[in-house]
């Protein structure tokens, strides 16, 4: 059985723990909001975008994957996630360096591990992103993105696939409506 003194101390510890958790949550939330406000990356027009992704081994230039996708997205949101890439374990993301129309990350931590990334902005309707993974199995992941039209908002709101233009009928094309990351 717990004495009244022990119960009082437990209550104080629980309250203190609650305050510490609340402060930690507010700190993380304010950090996320600050990252959102301090975004210095490229901005793109929301709409229907076509993404062609190619992944290949660097040494032998062997193609591992080629995939094409057309989606209704706001690529700026995906860029905000790329530019706020947090440190993961021993991988510490570097700040991007802007040279002309290119954003260069010498080291960025993402799901593939430590990568060097170059984002080349062609306009607010087109860009390329090249991610090179170094290590035991060096590989390159290239995304060529181009805006092709406006979204069909009423279908997007209903969660139905957007209508494809006649030129959209090609191999390996998926039709999706999403607000998330391109490919």
User: Helix/strand/coil (H, E, C) string of 25-41?
Assistant: HHHHHHHHHHHHHCCCC
Q: Which residue has the higher pLDDT, 165 or 161?
A: 161
* Structure tokens belonging to residue 179: 């607000």
Q: Give the model's pLDDT for residue 6.
A: 55
Domain locations in the chain? Answer: 1-38, 47-177
Helix ranges (H only) for 38-124 are 75-83
Q: Which residue has the higher pLDDT, 52 or 114?
A: 52
Instruction: Taking residues 143-156, report their average pLDDT.
Output: 83
d(CA 176, CA 173): 10
Task: Give the confidence band of 163 by pLDDT, cuts at 50, 70, 90.
Answer: very low
**What's the pTM?**
0.63
* Contact present, 109 and 86 (Cβ < 8 Å): yes
Q: What Cα–Cα distance (Å) separates residue 182 from each residue in 54, 65, 74, 91?
A: 13, 16, 9, 24
| Model confidence at 61: pLDDT above 80 | no
pLDDT in tens, 82-112: 888 777 777 888 889 999 999 999 888 766 6
* Structure tokens belonging to residue 106: 């010498």
């Amino acid at each position: 059985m717990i004495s009244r003194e022990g119960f009082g101390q437990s209550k104080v510890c629980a309250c203190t723990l609650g305050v510490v958790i609340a402060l930690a949550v507010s700190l993380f939330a304010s950090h996320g909001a600050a990252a959102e406000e301090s975004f210095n990356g490229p901005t793109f027009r929301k709409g229907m975008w076509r993404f062609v992704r190619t992944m290949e081994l660097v040494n032998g230039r062997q193609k591992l994957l080629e995939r094409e996708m057309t989606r209704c997205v706001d690529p700026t949101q995906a860029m905000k996630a790329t530019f706020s890439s947090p440190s993961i374990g021993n991988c510490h993301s570097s700040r991007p360096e802007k040279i002309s129309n290119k954003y260069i990350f010498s080291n960025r931590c993402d799901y593939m591990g430590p990568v060097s990334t170059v984002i080349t902005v062609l306009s607010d309707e087109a860009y390329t992103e090249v991610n090179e993974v170094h290590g035991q199995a060096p590989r390159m992941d290239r995304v060529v993105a181009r805006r092709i039209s406006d979204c069909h908002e009423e279908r997007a709101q209903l969660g139905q696939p957007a209508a494809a233009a006649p030129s959209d009928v090609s191999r390996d094309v998926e039709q999706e409506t999403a607000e998330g990351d391109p490919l």
